[in-house]
Amino acid sequence: MRKNEDDSVTLTKREYSELNKAYQKLFRLISDGPTFLGDYCRDRNEYLRIVKWQCWLEGEEFRRKDWE
């Protein structure tokens, strides 16, 4: 991982792949539980940010209107 001057970071393909796998596993563990994933979030926007990353990491388009 390389930190850029604007405080953003750049991941290698390997790092991105590892991060993606870890995120996917955590998402499945939490979402397969007995409660709704949104119950763990402070508000709807926080939940939608999680769903947005889930879509992006799976290579899908995130359309906010689909979740409203």
Mean pLDDT of 32-56: 87
Over range 53-64, report the average pLDDT. 89
Cβ distance 9 to 1 under 8 Å? yes
pLDDT of residue 36: 84
Integer Cα distance of 29 and 27 in angstroms: 6
Exposure string of 33-58, with b = 16+ CB inside 10 Å and e = fewer, is: eeeeeeeeeeeeeebbebbeebeeee
